[in-house]
Amino acid sequence: MRKTQVSYTKLLAALLLSFSILVAQSTAFAASAAAAAPALASQEDGAAQYKQFLKEKFDVGLSGKVTKGEFIEAVADILGYEPSGKAVTFSDVQPGSELYAPAAALYEKGILSGPSIQGEQVLTNAVAVAIAVRAADLKELAYTYPAAKVNKALTKLNVKSSALGTKGAQEVAAAVDTGLLTADLYSGFKPKNAATEQLIHTMLGKVLITKGLYKKYLGYVNDSDIYAKLSTAYATSDIINAPKLQNIVNTALKQDLITGYNIKDSRFDANFIDSLSLIYGHSDFNHAIQLIGLLRSEGLNAKVQFEPKTSAFIFLAEWGTPGPNVVQIENGNFINYDKEYDLEFEFANAADKEAFQNVILTYAKKNEEGQAGLIAASWWQPLYYSQTELKDYEIITNNFITDPDSPYTVNPFSLNEDSAKVVAGFKAIDPNVVVTPKQFWVDKPFYRYLHDEAA
């Protein structure tokens, strides 16, 4: 959504290292690597993060002595499962009860077998794992396990297969091997004991991950391979073509209803926790690489997702020769399409999220021509924003357009006071267009850009 021409820089970096190391040095290096391993592993989300995700995304909160019925309701809720309406008969749950619909939905998916649900019973470790394995679509794998393979996995828990029954033992063994049951849960795993909050939230989180419904990200800012992953993501992205939606917003561009828009692919949505995440938009890939290095140098680690984006705006004929990705319109001007991207970051805490702005304003915000001390291709009006309130940010509106028949979305930003006019204009162009205005918090330089003010 920029009114300037952009030149793209491709980053080709090859780092060749050769070592001649004495045995003593090799031993020291191995010890150092082993010491670093726990720090890297600790980056992975665990029960606390799953709990926060479940609460923010689904308003699911389970604590204390959780019943089997409450766990069933939670699984149906987070997976969006609803019964088909066909008659399902349980011996202890009647139609119309609060538990009936989620139990019927899970029964139809093969997650519950019935006829007894026993929803009032305290949820045990074994039952929680069994339901999670089936909800994660791993039961066929589990039932391939011969006795020897089951016993090998169960030795990690110090549990005998006889304590679980044949299928139950297979399910728990598969949960161990697939990582559904994490190593931090091994020592306290007693099949008939009440499931702890840690186990419950881990099971629900792992189900979401296995089903592709949890967060999506390339890695962390501090990962050694994050640059390679970003390079691959950028190289394999391209201009997004969504004719149905573009017909609407291109008409709006011609009518001066909007000054620009961007198209994104919802399949790349990070699905991060809003209160901890920020989205940063740009067009130059070298800028992305340097931004990651900048955050590392400032001690700001975060999850990173690369989200491809195509930006469109009117390119006036008097500006000269347009770039390669343009369509000429009736008045002689052009609609210019630029390959861009959003980097979405999820920080470990609110303080790190707040600290991001000072880093950008210091090292990635252009204030004068020829300014030194900035990372490559810094903009006069950088674009970064949050879905939750932040101090020293301004509120604007995304007049968010979706298509129920495609994964593509259009994001025309506007000032809040202009949103109603923009939405009405889209409806005039296409009465069936699906527009959902969403307010969010954006950095002040971009807010001034929308006001046509100086940087």
Residue with tokens 């001066």: 256
Taking residue 92's Cβ as centre, other Cβ atoms within 10 Å add up to 14
Mean pLDDT of all residues belonging to the chain: 91
CA distance 384 to 447: 10
CA distance 285 to 230: 9
Average pLDDT score over residue span 50-71: 97
CA distance 439 to 447: 13
Average pLDDT score over residue span 436-444: 98
Angle between helices 147-154 and 166-178 (to 10 degrees): 60
| pLDDT value at 252 more than 60 | yes
Looking at residue 42, its pLDDT comes to 56
Taking residue 75's Cβ as centre, other Cβ atoms within 10 Å add up to 26
Average pLDDT score over residue span 243-271: 97
Residue with tokens 């419904």: 213
Q: Give per-residue pLDDT as tens, 332-359.
A: 999 999 999 999 999 999 999 999 999 9
Helix or strand (DSSP H, E) at 104: helix 100-108
Report percent pLDDT > 90 for the chain: 89
Distances (CA, A) of 425 to 110, 167, 260, 433, 437: 48, 59, 14, 11, 13
User: Which residues on neighbouring strands pair with residue 340, listed in sequence order?
Assistant: 309
| pLDDT value at 9 more than 70 | no
Average pLDDT score over residue span 35-58: 78
| pLDDT value at 30 more than 90 | no
CB 179 within 8 A of CB 46: no
| pLDDT value at 127 more than 90 | yes
Instruction: Take residue 186 and report the two structure tokens written for it.
Output: 């091994």
CA distance 354 to 246: 35
Looking at residue 43, its pLDDT comes to 85
Q: How confident is the model at residue 37 (pLDDT cuts 50, 70, 90)?
A: very low
CA distance 305 to 223: 13
CA distance 200 to 176: 15
User: Which residues on neighbouring strands pair with residue 379, listed in sequence order?
Assistant: 365
Taking residue 278's Cβ as centre, other Cβ atoms within 10 Å add up to 27
Residue with tokens 């409450």: 70
- Considering only CA atoms, give the Rg of the chain: 26
| pLDDT value at 31 more than 50 | no
Average pLDDT score over residue span 375-386: 98
Looking at residue 40, its pLDDT comes to 40
Phi-psi region of 314 (alpha: psi -120 to 50; beta: other; left: phi over 0): beta
Helix or strand (DSSP H, E) at 313: strand 302-315
Contacts of 240 (CB under 8 A, 6+ apart): 263, 264, 265, 308, 309, 310, 408
Contacts of 181 (CB under 8 A, 6+ apart): 129, 157, 172, 175, 189, 202, 203
| pLDDT value at 101 more than 50 | yes
The more confident residue out of 44 and 164 is 164
CB 452 within 8 A of CB 366: no
The pTM assigned to this predicted structure is 0.89
CB 202 within 8 A of CB 50: yes
Instruction: Take residue 8 and report the two structure tokens written for it.
Output: 């793209």
CB 66 within 8 A of CB 127: no
Q: How confident is the model at residue 197 (pLDDT cuts 50, 70, 90)?
A: very high
What one-letter code names the amino acid at 396? I
Looking at residue 259, its pLDDT comes to 92
CA distance 52 to 58: 10
Burial annotation 296-313 (CB, 10 A radius, 16+ → b, else e): eebebbbbbbbbbbbbbb
Range in 11-25, 28-42, 235-249 with the lowest mean pLDDT: 11-25
